[in-house]
Amino acid sequence: MPDRLPMDTLPAFAALNDLARRPLDLTAPGALNPARIKAMVCQGAGFTLHYAAQRVDDTVLDRLQELADQSGAVDQFLAMQQGAIANRIDGQESENRQVLHTATRDLFTEPPREPKATAQARGELDRLATFLADLDSGRLTAPNGETFTDLVNIGIGGSDLGPRAVYLALQAFRRPDRQIHFIANVDPDDAAA
């Protein structure tokens, strides 16, 4: 993984911080004009993003591009796609492992764009399938021999939203003897709920 500089040490970060102190006033007369609405739209991957109602202008967009350039965001993303270790924070306890969610999308591409990372992702999915089969068959039990009935998903951001969305979408097919609980906050009260 390319070296990561702390974002707050980059010149573009300081410039964005300065711009944030005096944001664009969208309530000003004429701020949301037809020209702005027409100009502030982009398309990709079948999506259209209209961002005229966001407090950005060309200066903010230029500084964001500079921040991406200065931080090496594209190189870091490409390294992550190739299976580089990304879940780490220097000096902090962390997972210190690969982020393979982009590689799971590559499972359906022939040939895979990133064969090594895709093979690792397939290996993780195989391990998950074995784990679930062991749960279903009763080979994996609690120390007292009882079967597991509850799963607790602990995640923040996409690690919460993705599993929660799948759970909600497939809830009609869930087994009534199994429960899933979601903790999406580092606040202990979230776990107590």
pLDDT at 85 (0 to 100)? 77
Of the three residues 28, 53, 71, the one that is the final residue of a domain is 71
What are the tens digits of pLDDT across the range 108-123? 777 777 888 888 889 9
Q: What's the domain range around 31? A: 7-71
Q: Quick: pLDDT tens for 19-73.
A: 999 999 999 999 999 999 999 999 998 999 999 999 999 999 999 999 999 999 9
Cβ atoms 12, 63 nearer than 8 A: yes
Which of 71, 102, 127 is where one domain is finished? 71
Number of domains forming the structure of the chain: 2
The answer on pLDDT for 187 being more than 70 is: no
Evaluate whether residue 77 is within a structural domain: no
126 inside domain: no
**pLDDT tens digits, one per residue of 64-94:** 999 999 999 999 888 888 877 777 667 777 6
138 within some domain: no
**Does residue 2 register a pLDDT over 70?**
no
Asked if residue 132 belongs to a domain, the reply is no
Domain end marker among 71, 90, 119: 71
- Closest to 32 measured CA to CA, from 57, 49, 62: 57
